[in-house]
Structure 1
């Protein structure tokens, strides 16, 4: 909404920081993740006074931005965070890089050092720093343009699906804005467009490729979810006798189909790896095919590839994406291609009863073993799959153990949250806080490695302070698993990657939430039950073996590892 004439008259003498808070309210912002400093504390205090606003105060700037990322993914709305100037900006570069690569719309309000100060210890070229991460930067140093710059920040973040940092000198924030200044929300400027339909010529070429293939896989990404194209993709797969799979962030998209074989890439099950190796055509729908998803081009290097996407890139993360590009909305492209597929000839064994059985019954990576020290992470993941109710939200952290808990089945992508761009560990706890904020009242389960959690363990106190209902399942192998296995493979000393398990449960209690040590599957079941009954945050320190390697680590090292 635009501020009325009477409202303008009433507020024209307010300092800029209050007008900034009003603009955030006009944009419909209901949650802000912040760590305060001189450069943003006035704006955040004004935001906190708004009745619709929920302020989540983090213990680290990186975590505040990562929380906003988790919130944006879970809510489908724009995420908002706030940090101070100088060190506040340098601390968030990792989160901004992830958000830029994952195309998550964020607005980060940041201070800038005082515009009239001849020297300031925290002064840096913030714009250069932010742009190096792939994010956008707007320096709002003109009082006359401040509200317009804010509008541009929100518009750019939503239109281009990217993180935008807006920096405002904190001496300017305390000045009154020019008389008559008003704010118009960016939503009024977002173009309203319909679905992008494909060129018939390219649909015909795609249909010809389908006719010439007999082992097809329809591979969906998050574009299928945002386009509401799930059923259209299932019908397309049925029309051409295809199997179905998804990227990791879209895991569970096609669970309604008996021919869904799970995740593509480093998190693929044995079945998915076999079938992608045999495929002669892969149809990407709403997926950009990151390097990890194609295993650097090795996952299905015998197959031709069709990509249906509104923004086909040609080359992504060092590799060619497809042999044919059909520029279209995921749903429109899948529907038109389905109607054009004639005389598809799937191989007799492609959609076999055995494939259906294996997709449902077969463990993603073989049967659990009994290691000498600690639980088999595959057994832990299988128990989580059995014991966690289907209406709970799952947040998947990163690291070596993430293969095991990324393959928990039975939940669609709306209840599974994973952000893995840039190979970052340490942000799982922040994503979980963002998801808990977006899904108020829901039970959240974070599955995370010990090394990753330790990077930002201080946010356990944030969980306690804000009363968030999160079960944290720590897959604790005593170190950094990926590095540990690689160092063993290369014959290097393990000291830099293997630290011992410590007492994660005690750390949780030190931050004010319950913590329990889990050394048996019965301990795990009991802990989940206590969390379900209590409604309070709980950390389960699950002692897993460091002997069990994930499939991609076994491929890399040549070691059996379970």
Structure 2
């Protein structure tokens, strides 16, 4: 009989944890383990850059609800993932990353580095596995930690120890999912509910705002019932966008990406009930979004200060759904002047453009990005998986209010661009057989353009829609508004369709928006990836940029004052 290697046992431990997909880039410190994992039935997505292994695992975890898994080699392989990990930490995404370590037996090794400080600096956890017989239990504990703490755990396993013959026990410890605490939903204290009910009964302009925690807790219906009983409006954080996609009184996103109407109405609110959200800085637009409102937070981990701001004036510690249900039962129905919702408000929400600014006509051969998004939104089926990347373009792509949260994927924490292709790969792997549409910018795409080859090789069904402004969009608008040269952020319009074709992908430059419906129909009927390059005008700045740099956009006119819907 062939003696089992330690890396075989470690692969078996991962499989016992239910790992069926792993995003990988191989090197000396992980290739034997990764090959063994593949031989045991795990689907391996072999990427072209380590950062994308972890980023893809992030979106895979968000789409499946299980810890994402990635593997990189030691030293430079590990240091390449340091941009992805803080985003996962801040987004509360559980990951387990098998990173390897330099061999302990070597007096000197070229790729050796003290890995733990790099990882812990990102907020992730690091576990050094140096005792072979303890390794299976350490893997189980890493998955347990990732699940319990909702953050990444990186495993450092010296590859000389991995390659030893296995001399430990024949049985593996019980997997983490079997020993996770089996607890029910957290119910609120009656006194907290009574205090909160008094706040609600004293308010007349109420917004019920749901975050990612409300999505996970299945609190959508409860939030709708609370808003209806209070006569108030609904909103979501960006990660929860689309939770109330079919409700006429939903303002959509509350935060920097809020629409014109949402900002006007949120400014009138006197109470915001925030369910399942940490009340992040961008969620309140730094405190400018609802300045008159008291905030009541309903969350299992209520916060006094969140991202440098006073988050809420009062709190209910509870699961989002049962907390909202308890509060709804305790309040009196709104009457008369306490009922905020009305037919004119519903009409304003439905009919007012997200961004009402009027710009000069785009230069010949370019589009207004808002028109591109409108054309895509009209053509793409509602049940396709949509992935929004980061950067200047992401505001426009977020303005698809009728797409349900289950099919719209957004991770924006840490503010890094370049993640779009990886996030789309993670969703495609999590939702096999589904059509995936990525919305990205040219600057973000070109940061990791090599992953087009990964998408083709693994036959991932992804349509990549690029708003190509020939520049780093946020930077050019900021530089111009300050009267500073934009030369360092302008690169011209590369032929992204030709680049995609070079990778074996059906790529094309879109010259007429009337062609969008046909492109979407052909992609839906066929198989394999596609890339659609939309050249957009670099003179059109998003409201996010215009608010941050108002003196640079003083000439922009508003199309129609939304007050006409009052």
User: What TM-score do the two structures reach when normalised by structure 2?
Assistant: 0.95
Cα offset, 1:497, TM superposition: 0.7
Cα offset, 1:522, TM superposition: 1.6
Cα offset, 1:348, TM superposition: 6.3
Distance 1:306 1:272, change over 3 A: same
Q: Partners in 2 of 1:250 and 1:511 — Cα distance?
A: 34
Distance 1:395 1:302, change over 3 A: same
Q: Of the candidates 499, 503, 510, which is equivalent to residue 495 of structure 2?
A: 503
Q: Partners in 1 of 2:519 and 2:73 — Cα distance?
A: 39
Q: Which residue of 1 aligns with 2:330?
A: 340
Q: Which residue of 1 aligns with 2:231?
A: 241
Distance 1:239 1:343, change over 3 A: closer
Do the aligned partners of 1:35 and 1:61 also contact (CA within 8 Å) in 2?
yes
Cα offset, 1:323, TM superposition: 0.2
Q: Partners in 2 of 1:425 and 1:346 — Cα distance?
A: 48
Which consecutive unaligned segments of at least 5 residues does structure 2 have?
558-566
Residues 467-498 of structure 1, C-alpha deviations (whole Å, 9 max, x = no match): 01111000000101100000001111111111
Q: Partners in 2 of 1:194 and 1:346 — Cα distance?
A: 39
Q: Which residue of 2 aligns with 1:149?
A: 138
Q: Partners in 2 of 1:372 and 1:156 — Cα distance?
A: 53
Q: Which residue of 2 aligns with 1:136?
A: 125
Do the aligned partners of 1:445 and 1:472 also contact (CA within 8 Å) in 2?
yes
Q: Aligned residue pairs: how many?
A: 551
Which consecutive unaligned segments of at least 5 residues does structure 1 have?
1-9
Q: Partners in 1 of 2:255 and 2:540 — Cα distance?
A: 19
Do the aligned partners of 2:379 and 2:516 also contact (CA within 8 Å) in 1?
no
Alignment partner of 1:381 is 2:381: no
Written as runs of structure 1 = structure 2, the 5 A alignment for 1:375-414 is: 375-414=367-406
Alignment partner of 1:172 is 2:164: no
Q: Partners in 2 of 1:15 and 1:30 — Cα distance?
A: 21
Cα offset, 1:352, TM superposition: 1.3
Q: Which residue of 2 aligns with 1:4?
A: none
Q: Partners in 2 of 1:297 and 1:19 — Cα distance?
A: 52
Q: Which residue of 1 aligns with 2:347?
A: 357
Residues 482-538 of structure 1, C-alpha deviations (whole Å, 9 max, x = no match): 000000011111111111111111111111101110132123333223222322211
Written as runs of structure 1 = structure 2, the 5 A alignment for 1:518-529 is: 518-529=510-521
Alignment partner of 1:267 is 2:257: yes
Q: Which residue of 1 aligns with 2:85?
A: 96
Q: Which residue of 2 aligns with 1:546?
A: 538
Cα offset, 1:114, TM superposition: 0.1
Written as runs of structure 1 = structure 2, the 5 A alignment for 1:30-109 is: 30-51=20-41, 53-109=42-98
Secondary structure of 1:208 counterpart: helix
Alignment partner of 1:210 is 2:200: yes
Distance 1:295 1:367, change over 3 A: closer
Residues 275-303 of structure 1, C-alpha deviations (whole Å, 9 max, x = no match): 11110000000011111111111111110
Do the aligned partners of 1:284 and 1:307 also contact (CA within 8 Å) in 2?
yes
Q: Which residue of 1 aligns with 2:561?
A: none
Q: Which residue of 2 aligns with 1:24?
A: 14
Written as runs of structure 1 = structure 2, the 5 A alignment for 1:153-552 is: 153-184=142-173, 185-345=175-335, 347=337, 350-366=340-356, 370-373=361-364, 374-552=366-544
Q: Give runs of ≥4 in structure 1 deviating > 6 Å.
A: none
Cα offset, 1:345, TM superposition: 4.8
Q: Partners in 1 of 2:274 and 2:196 — Cα distance?
A: 12
Do the aligned partners of 1:472 and 1:540 also contact (CA within 8 Å) in 2?
yes
Do the aligned partners of 1:516 and 1:527 also contact (CA within 8 Å) in 2?
no
Residues 176-234 of structure 1, C-alpha deviations (whole Å, 9 max, x = no match): 23342532211122100001000111111111111111000000011111111111111
RMSD of equivalent CA atoms: 1.4
User: What TM-score do the two structures reach when normalised by structure 1?
Assistant: 0.96
Cα offset, 1:41, TM superposition: 0.1
Do the aligned partners of 1:213 and 1:346 also contact (CA within 8 Å) in 2?
no
Secondary structure of 1:108 counterpart: strand
